[in-house]
Amino acid sequence: MKALCILGSTGSIGVSTLDVVRRFPDRFRVRSLVAHRNVEKLVEQVREFQPARVGLVDDAKLPELKAALKGYKGEILGGAQSAIALAEEPESGYVVSAIVGAAGLLPTLAALKKGKEVGIANKEPLVMCGPLMRKAADEFGATILPIDSEHCAVFQSARAGAAKELRKIVLTASGGPFRKTPAEKLKTATKADALKHPTWNMGAKITIDSATLMNKALEIIEAHFLFDLPYEGIHVWVHPQSIVHALVEFTDGSVVAQLGLPDMRLPIQYALTYPERLDGGLPVLPIERMKELTFEEPDHERFPSLQFAYRAGKAGGTAPAVLNAANEEAVSLFLQEKVPFVRIFDLVREALDKHSVQPMDSLETVLAADRWARDFVRHQVD
């Protein structure tokens, strides 16, 4: 029986993770749940899964949570520290990292430093400081299992050969809601337009990242750190049906791919049950859908995000952390309707132009770069 800590349990990935847990009552037990401020959802989850400990990062909401959970026998913790405490406690051997953005870095790192199995959906910390996370995993004997569908697909496909036989990978992108939108119309794209994802149902930040292709940009860097591949070997194709999640090419020229419906419960289940494959009763890809599969080159003119990723990734050091933080801030401003959609690209580009890259020698350096980029972006807009 695996005892799970679910960081970000109230989000899209957290909810899907709990649905997988529900399908395997003999395999998984929920030890702890962590949310930011969605008390209503968290209470519902606590009632159903009866975790021993619960964390709510936003302290201001703690009285509301305590009142709603009157009679609950477990322990309720508050503040950012609660996520770290629950991620690192020895009673959970498996941590699902599903907080959105840089906020997931410290708890995820804490879990790695305790040598746990860590299923990572929260890609932003890997982008910020993949080498530090990999080093922590190696040093403390932790296992990183990718949940991001494309990386889970690479992970699964790569099992067909040895790591040194992997030559190239292709991550697929749906293309987002603006795949066919002319550049001129992108200038007036609204928040509602950008939140209409054609194939995936996800949280707001990643949905905007899909509309800018920044999600794929972050995934290029995530893949570089997860699979030790040079940037020249990491490619992106637009595949609007979101059925083929990634392809890997081996040294002999063989290409192996993983296919499935666009349903995050499948990669989550694989990351939880790895190295086994179990029947969780999830919907299966109807084979006739193979007739509709198409692939296109990404349009780098309308969507410069992929080029930002190659640029920041190759620059190395603190550049990916700046890319990530500038994007998080720009997306947040777009979601508050303070900047137009296309300004997200400008703000990220300007932050990369202005940043003087430092070697990634410590967590403090990464956090300082993250802060710098956020201040920079806010300052451009104020």
Ligand X SMILES: NC(=O)c1ccc[n+]([C@@H]2O[C@H](COP(=O)([O-])OP(=O)(O)OC[C@H]3O[C@@H](n4cnc5c(N)ncnc54)[C@H](OP(=O)(O)O)[C@@H]3O)[C@@H](O)[C@H]2O)c1
Q: By CB under 6 A, is residue 54 in contact with ligand X?
A: no
Applying CB under 6 A, the span of 7-15, 62-70, 167-175, 338-346 interacting with ligand X comes to: 7-15
Pairwise CA distance, residues 338 & 332, whole Å = 9
By C-beta, is 98 or 321 nearer to ligand X? 98
The DSSP secondary-structure symbol of 59 reads G
- Residue 121 as a binder of ligand X (CB under 6 A): the answer is yes
Q: Does residue number 17 form part of the binding site for ligand X (CB under 6 A)?
A: no
Question: Is residue 151 within the footprint of ligand X (CB under 6 A)?
Answer: no
- Name, in order, each residue with C-beta under 8 angstroms of 197's C-beta and a sequence gap of 6 or more: 174, 176, 177, 207, 210, 211
Which of 72, 200, 231, 274 binds ligand X (CB under 6 A)? It is 200
Instruction: Look up tokens 């933080």; give the residue.
Output: 325
Q: Determine, following the binding rule CB under 6 A, whether residue 202 of this chain makes contact with ligand X.
A: yes
Distance separating alpha carbons of residues 128 and 325, to the nearest angstrom:
8
Among 8, 78, 146, 176, indicate the residue that binds ligand X (CB under 6 A).
Answer: 8
Residues 206, 254 contacting (CB under 8 angstroms): no
Check: CB of residue 340 under 8 Å from CB of residue 319.
Answer: no
Between 101 and 313, whose beta carbon lies closer to ligand X? 101
Note whether 127 binds ligand X by CB under 6 A. Answer: no
Residue 75: both structure tokens together? 């322990």
Output DSSP code: residue 262. S
- Among 21, 30, 35, 128, the residue binding ligand X under the rule CB under 6 A is 35
* Given 84, 96, 103, 323, the residue binding ligand X (CB under 6 A): 103
- Site size with ligand X, rule: CB under 6 A: 29
Sheet holding 166-173, edge to edge: 234-238, 166-173, 244-250, 255-259
Instruction: Note whether 11 binds ligand X by CB under 6 A.
Output: yes
Residues 268, 272: Cα–Cα separation, whole Å: 6
CA 53 to chain centre: 24
Does residue 99 interact with ligand X by CB under 6 A? yes
Does 57 participate in binding ligand X (rule CB under 6 A)?
A: yes
For ligand X, the closer of residues 14 and 177 by Cβ is: 14
Inter-residue contact 324 to 124 (CB < 8 Å): yes
Query: Is 100 among the residues that bind ligand X (CB under 6 A)?
Result: yes
- Interface residue with ligand X, options 173, 213, 264, 322 (CB under 6 A): 264
What minimum distance in Å lies between the beta carbon of 195 and ligand X? 12
Contact pattern for ligand X over residues 69 through 98, marking x by CB under 6 A: --------------x--------------x
Please state the closest distance from residue 26 (CB atom) to ligand X, in A.
26
Q: Crossing angle of helices 319-335/214-227, nearest 10°?
A: 150
- Taking the C-alpha atoms of residue 235 and residue 150, their distance in angstroms, rounded to an integer, is 12
Residue 4 near residue 94 (C-beta atoms within 8 A): yes
Nearer to ligand X, 174 or 380 (CB): 174
Residue 351 within binding range of ligand X, rule CB under 6 A:
no
- 242 in contact with ligand X (CB under 6 A): no
- Residue 14, interface with ligand X (CB under 6 A)? yes
**Chain residue whose CB lies nearest ligand X:** 11
Which residues 6+ apart lie within 8 Å of 16 measured at CB?
A: 264, 265, 268
Contact pick of 92, 108, 122, 258 for ligand X (by CB under 6 A):
122
Nearer of residues 203 and 340 to ligand X, judged by Cβ = 203
Residues 290-319 that bind ligand X (CB under 6 A): none
Q: Which residue lies nearer to ligand X by CB, 106 or 189?
A: 106
The whole-angstrom separation of Cα 348 and Cα 92 is: 38
Q: What is the DSSP letter of 232?
A: G
Interface segment toward ligand X; rule CB under 6 A; list 2-10, 128-136, 137-145, 282-290: 2-10
Cα 166–Cα 100–Cα 276 angle in degrees, nearest 5: 45
Write the CA distances from 360 to 133, 177, 226, 227, 356, integer angstroms: 12, 35, 17, 19, 12
Residue from 20, 30, 33, 36 in contact with ligand X (CB under 6 A): 36
Contact 243, 260 (CB under 8 A): yes
Contacts with ligand X by CB under 6 A lie at: 8-14, 35-38, 57, 83, 98-100, 103, 121-124, 148, 200, 202-206, 264
